[in-house]
Amino acid sequence: MEKRVVITGLGAVSPIGNTVDELWDGIKECKCGIDEIKAFDTSTFKTKLAAEVKEFDPLKFFDVKQAKRLDRVSQFAIVAAREAFKDSGITPENTDFEKVGIYVGSGIGGFETIQNQCRINFEKGNSRVSPMFIPMGICNMPAGNIAIDLKLKGESLAIVTACASSTHSIGEAYRNIKHGYQDVILAGGSESAICESAVAGFENMKALSSSTDKTRASIPFDKERNGFVMGEGAGIVVLEELEHALKRGAKIYAEVVGYGASSDAYHITSPDPEASGAIKAMKVAMEDAKIKPEEVDYINAHGTSTHLNDSTETKAVKGALGSASANVKVSSTKGNTGHLLGAAGVIEAIICTKAIENKLIPPTINYQVPDEECDLNIVPNKPLEQEINVAMSNSLGFGGHNATVIFKKFEK
């Protein structure tokens, strides 16, 4: 018999707040986390803006030795996981840690470590490369470090599907619990790639916004959009089998009821112009959730602020929901947070969960110029008070990776 899966803990480090409460307050207040890049000198770059995590001092969370041995991507992941785990109330007394897993992905992993150690290798020689280079740089280490930090001995996986990584992590964790393999899984993602090499790569790909006005840089669905803004941070959701959660008296934020995934099989960076893969992911998720399109109240769109993504995703929503797409509320919160790449989906899943809890639909901020190609109801600039029973979250990654998860207001 299939088991029900609920969310019992949330944790976040984001460009608009380093806890879930701060993140949600930033959404309600239409806060924009985008500003001039402080991580490096941008004088030779066209890209001047990013959504960096602010006021994050590793020494508040780790001793000096730990901090030096953890890339920023793992630091974010551990801090978010600690918050989510504490929020869940899980302890060795009420839960078997042998059946608590970690599904935490990253699009790029420890990119800053990779960049810096390669520079040392080329400038100072191979003998100067740190022995911690590999364990700090590889993509699985956010998951591995969470397991070590919290002493969790269940399945530990790192799903890497570019900007869909953390949504796939949530979906696969949901399936795992649904079919009885684990009782609890910490699912999500972490990213910290705001460094010279990554920005240069995305910039030369013509993917990044060149705007110097932070209120007109990440502008999803706006006709003047010209690229995405890089963000960083981490998010973790604690997924738990319902009976296990009820037995220990856990607070339940929402239920995970549907998951769909697909591949465009079209191009390494561009979405399929027919949106067939994204349509399939949404339809499969709705079938899994046993809901009809008209039951979806809110969609947190991938909405990256690139021309192709936003117009194609509009087509996908219409293709998946049909006539119901005229009524569903849709927004992209990347105007607030920038694009957190592999961590984007989980931050947006947390926002969906808080939206259900607080009966408030997040807006698409910084929106000014309507685009006839993006004619969904995108809730421009101001939050909308509305009961949300069903929320959908989409993520679309380079390589044609599509993922959709559906959350529902919990009812026994």
| Contacts of 350 by beta carbon, 8 Å cutoff, 6+ apart | 10, 12, 20, 23, 235, 237
Catalytic-role residue among 32, 139, 163, 195: 163
Amino acid at 163: C
Beta bridge partners, 36, equal 49
Q: Give the burial string for 15-36 (b: 16+ CB within 10 Å, else e).
A: bbbbbbeebbebbeebbbbbbe
Residue 244 bears catalytic tag? no
In angstroms, the CA 370 to CA 218 distance is: 15
Q: Hey, what are 177's tokens?
A: 């619990």
Single out the residue of 87, 141, 104, 32 nearest to residue 345, CA to CA: 104
Bridge-partner residues for 254, per DSSP?
7
DSSP, collapsed to helix, strand or coil, labels residue 108 as coil
Annotated catalytic residue: which of 168, 244, 302, 401? Answer: 302
The catalytic position among 195, 339, 352, 401 is 339
CB 343 within 8 A of CB 189: yes
| Known catalytic membership, residue 302 | yes
How far is it, in rounded angstroms, from Cα 158 to Cα 164?
A: 12
List the catalytic residues. Answer: 163, 302, 339
